[in-house]
Structure 1
Amino acid sequence: MDLAYTAEEEEFRARLRAWLAARLPTLPPQPSPDDWPGRRAYDTAWQRALYDAGYAKVHWDAPPTLRLIYLEETERAGAPYVGANFVGLLHAGPTIAAEGTPEQRARWLEPILRGEEIWCQGFSEPDAGSDLASLRTRAVRDGDAYVVTGSKLWTSHAEVADRCELLVRTGPAGSRHRGLTWLAMPMDAPGITVRPLRTLAGAAEFAEMFLDEVRVPVTDRVGDENDGWRVTMVTLSFERGTAFVGEVVACRRTLVDVAAQARANGRWDDAALRRRLGRLNAEFTALWRLTQWNVSEAAATGGVPGTGGSVFKLRYSHARQELYDAAAEVLGPDALDLARPWTRERLSSLSYTIAAGTSQIQQNIVAERILGLPKGRR
């Protein structure tokens, strides 16, 4: 893989940088983290601005190098990221682009790109997190609809979502991987109850969702009935392989800010801290190179990331925690102040070794699918 950018790609960078410089000063102040209707409006307005300027499709249709340049420049400029619709833009949208029918792609992809529809994820359940194949939410075919009953947990942004990428059991009890189906459930269907969950950092970005005989049209099924595990693996490949790309860029910028703060408050004289920050700089530089590889590999193999995403997710989760631990060391007693962004990010970072597949699951994937080791006893 050639990691150098061409003259045409640098021209794209210059155009994007100029557009950001002109557009960002016109944005209104960001709403409160707890104001989800306000955050939805803010995030979707930004997405519409990207769409009108011709940058919205960079996540899906642009060459990988342009996507990487886009992420570098938007993060450098401090532009909004995907926000409340990260599931639609980074998980569901790419899955539908890869697995949906032409009618589904025409019906759902443009509204996501235009900022008109927000998606949430309904995979995990109270007794089915890492062992996703043990989920119990049931969908029974009734004519031209599935009737869904069950519950979901950690449903990201469910309170403001229009649709949910929903994994359900359509096969017999005990069918595990062979009996799952991937549905695009409309969130305004009767029988859906959403109850927000407050995290350790004080945010309510997750919810538990209860489904009581919710009717989902069969035309909203992505892939075949009982083929949902394979479709879900496509979703998780995007979630682990490319969805965290922007966050790597953000972490590299945060690391620079942490070093600047250490110089300002005298902590830079601590040789152990300097070594720690230097090692983290090497970590995130390597993660960015791995990101470039994963994005390029996905483009070369039909758009779906490979098992390198598990390598990335495993190391990135821990590196992010180490970064914000270092930030807390630099802040000293101020690290206890929840009003500080680094403090909130430190608390949030604790979830990264669980979200998108636990570190233990990623270790199993690396061992079995990359190193070729035999499966461990379950």
Structure 2
Amino acid sequence: MADFGGTDLDAFRAEARAWLEENFPKSLRGEDTYGQEGPATETEDRKRWKQAMADKGWGAPTWPKQYGGGGLSGPEARVLQQEMNRIGAYNPVAGMGTSMFGPTLLEYGTEDQKQRHIPPIVRGELRWCQGYSEPGAGSDLASLQTKCEDAGDHWVVNGQKIWTSGAQYADWCFCLVRTDNTKKHEGISFVLINMHQPGVEVRPIKLIAGSSPFCETFFTNARVEKNDMVGPLHGGWTVAKRLLQHERSGQSGGRMTGGQATVADIAKKYVGVDEKGRIADLDLRSRIAAHMIDAKAHSLTLARAVAEAKGNLNPNATTSVMKNSGTQIGQMRSELLVEIMGHQGLGWEGDDFTKEELSTVRQWLSGKATTIFGGSQEIQNNIITKRILGLPELTQKQ
């Protein structure tokens, strides 16, 4: 690939468009396997697409080439995403490995850890899950009690995690554990746990949307190798906060705020248009316009925040603003779509409903959790008031 230096975006766009047209199977256009309950059925076209993206490194477009990434600049990566959106292409290796753990390991991991864990993520060979929340440590995550003890040549982990997304399919877990009981935040470490060992038990939790993406996870004398602790001993809280920043950035992005078809396009299909080609329902039209304005403002602000954060490895509170904004916009989109589809947007099964209609009601239900997971809306508001606005904490009068 030519070296565009981040400046000749037109030339890169032409190259990306040509490569996608040649390599993305037409049978997969409009398909999206991200966030599904289990691994996708590996059809030949899906295998071919994953292999092509792995060879190109574009499943992790901005990651260094030395670890298998695409080595693209931020502007080039945005152009690539635009061209993928244009033809209905999806990232076949998207998941926690690329959106959360990988970026964190690139910043805090040792060279050995990067060499061992990053290339398999880029190739989509391994699935990752997150071991953060516990039954007694949700919003107050630093109260976690899962123990990690030194066993000489390795660590031994005992405890329970909950809401472990995709744990029943995961190969590895990036996990917060307690290595010092005398301190709260300073007694936490960040370790990597192989999920394929006798000391790991996973129990899926069925949710209102009918799927089981979340799980209870139990560790009983689970083994962690000494070279699979990320960051220093008792220094996991800093690593954990940085990972949450990446997670909340993902929750504030496009998958929370929209898909391939716009709300306006869907409304015209179900509600109809007037003589000027506008959505026939005036009130609905006004609310859709307001939603689209909010989504666009959010997208532009997110792009600015990403540019301002370039080169800054310290966790910051900006993602709390974007997480709240993105998840609320995503929920409003789901509410509008269910309203637009009417009774067709409330189907659960049967031939009377299209695949898109059945997906809409499930997305509407599962989307209720987005303002809770990854740090609830209330927790983000607390962070914003203290760390951005500098407001004092409220104290209750005696």
Q: Partners in 1 of 2:42 and 2:381 — Cα distance?
A: 35
Of 51, 55, 61, 1:48 maps to 51
Corresponding residue for 2:174? Answer: 165
Counterpart residue type for residue 124 of structure 1: S
Counterpart residue type for residue 177 of structure 1: H
Corresponding residue for 1:328? Answer: 338
Counterpart residue type for residue 131 of structure 2: G
Of 236, 239, 242, 1:234 maps to 242
1:264-343 superposed matches below 5 A: 264=272, 268-302=279-313, 306-338=316-348, 340=357, 341-343=359-361
CA contact (8 A) 1:72 1:249 kept: no
Shift, 1:117, TM fit: 1.5
Unaligned runs of 5+ in 1: 1-5
Range moving further from structure 2, 267-276 or 156-165: 267-276
Counterpart residue type for residue 95 of structure 2: F
CA contact (8 A) 2:202 2:215 kept: yes
Q: Partners in 2 of 1:44 and 1:154 — Cα distance?
A: 30
1:3-18 superposed matches below 5 A: 8-18=8-18
Corresponding residue for 2:184? Answer: 176
Instruction: For residues 273-295 of structure 1, give each alpha carbon's deviation from its aligned partner in whole angstroms, at most 9, with x where no partner exists.
Output: 11110011111101111221122
Corresponding residue for 1:190? Answer: 198
Shift, 1:43, TM fit: 7.2
Instruction: For residues 53-87 of structure 1, give each alpha carbon's deviation from its aligned partner in whole angstroms, at most 9, with x where no partner exists.
Output: 3423314343221222222222332222356x511
Q: Partners in 2 of 1:157 and 1:346 — Cα distance?
A: 20
Instruction: For residues 187-246 of structure 1, give each alpha carbon's deviation from its aligned partner in whole angstroms, at most 9, with x where no partner exists.
Output: 112210111222221122222111111011121000011111111001011111246434
Unaligned runs of 5+ in 2: 1-5, 65-71, 349-354
Between the two proteins, the alignment pairs up a number of residues equal to 371
Q: Partners in 2 of 1:183 and 1:377 — Cα distance?
A: 36
Say yes or no: does 1:123 pair with 2:164: no
Counterpart residue type for residue 56 of structure 2: A
Shift, 1:28, TM fit: 6.0
Corresponding residue for 2:365? Answer: 347
Shift, 1:272, TM fit: 1.5
Say yes or no: does 1:36 pair with 2:69: no
Which structure exhibits the higher relative contact order, with contacts defined as CA atoms closer than 8 Å and separated by 6 or more residues?
A: 1
Paired residue secondary structure (1:156): coil
1:243-254 superposed matches below 5 A: 244-247=252-255, 250-251=258-259, 253-254=261-262
Of 96, 105, 109, 2:105 maps to 96
CA contact (8 A) 1:149 1:212 kept: yes
Q: Among all aligned residue pairs of Structure 1 and Structure 2, give the percentage whose two residues are the same amino acid.
A: 34
Counterpart residue type for residue 194 of structure 1: V
Counterpart residue type for residue 158 of structure 1: A
Corresponding residue for 1:261? Answer: 269
CA contact (8 A) 1:122 1:164 kept: yes
Shift, 1:88, TM fit: 0.5
Q: Partners in 1 of 2:111 and 2:85 — Cα distance?
A: 33
Paired residue secondary structure (2:145): coil
Paired residue secondary structure (1:140): strand
CA contact (8 A) 1:223 1:231 kept: yes
Counterpart residue type for residue 120 of structure 1: C
Paired residue secondary structure (1:216): strand
Cα–Cα, structure 1 residues 39 and 249, in superposed 2: closer, same or farther, change >3 Å? farther
Corresponding residue for 2:67? Answer: none
Aligned CA-pair RMSD: 2.8
Paired residue secondary structure (1:159): coil
CA contact (8 A) 1:163 1:187 kept: yes
CA contact (8 A) 2:271 2:340 kept: no
Paired residue secondary structure (1:128): coil
CA contact (8 A) 1:59 1:89 kept: no
CA contact (8 A) 2:252 2:322 kept: no
Corresponding residue for 2:377? Answer: 359
Counterpart residue type for residue 294 of structure 2: E
Q: Partners in 2 of 1:43 and 1:376 — Cα distance?
A: 53
CA contact (8 A) 1:170 1:226 kept: yes
Cα–Cα, structure 1 residues 291 and 23, in superposed 2: closer, same or farther, change >3 Å? same
Paired residue secondary structure (1:36): coil
Q: Partners in 2 of 1:10 and 1:249 — Cα distance?
A: 27
Normalising by structure 2, report the TM-score. 0.85
Paired residue secondary structure (1:215): strand
Corresponding residue for 1:72? Answer: 82
Range moving further from structure 2, 48-57 or 365-374: 48-57
Greater Rg, structure 1 or structure 2? 2
Shift, 1:254, TM fit: 3.5
Corresponding residue for 1:3? Answer: none
Q: Partners in 1 of 2:257 and 2:85 — Cα distance?
A: 7
Shift, 1:144, TM fit: 2.0
CA contact (8 A) 2:264 2:288 kept: no
Range moving further from structure 2, 206-215 or 35-44: 35-44
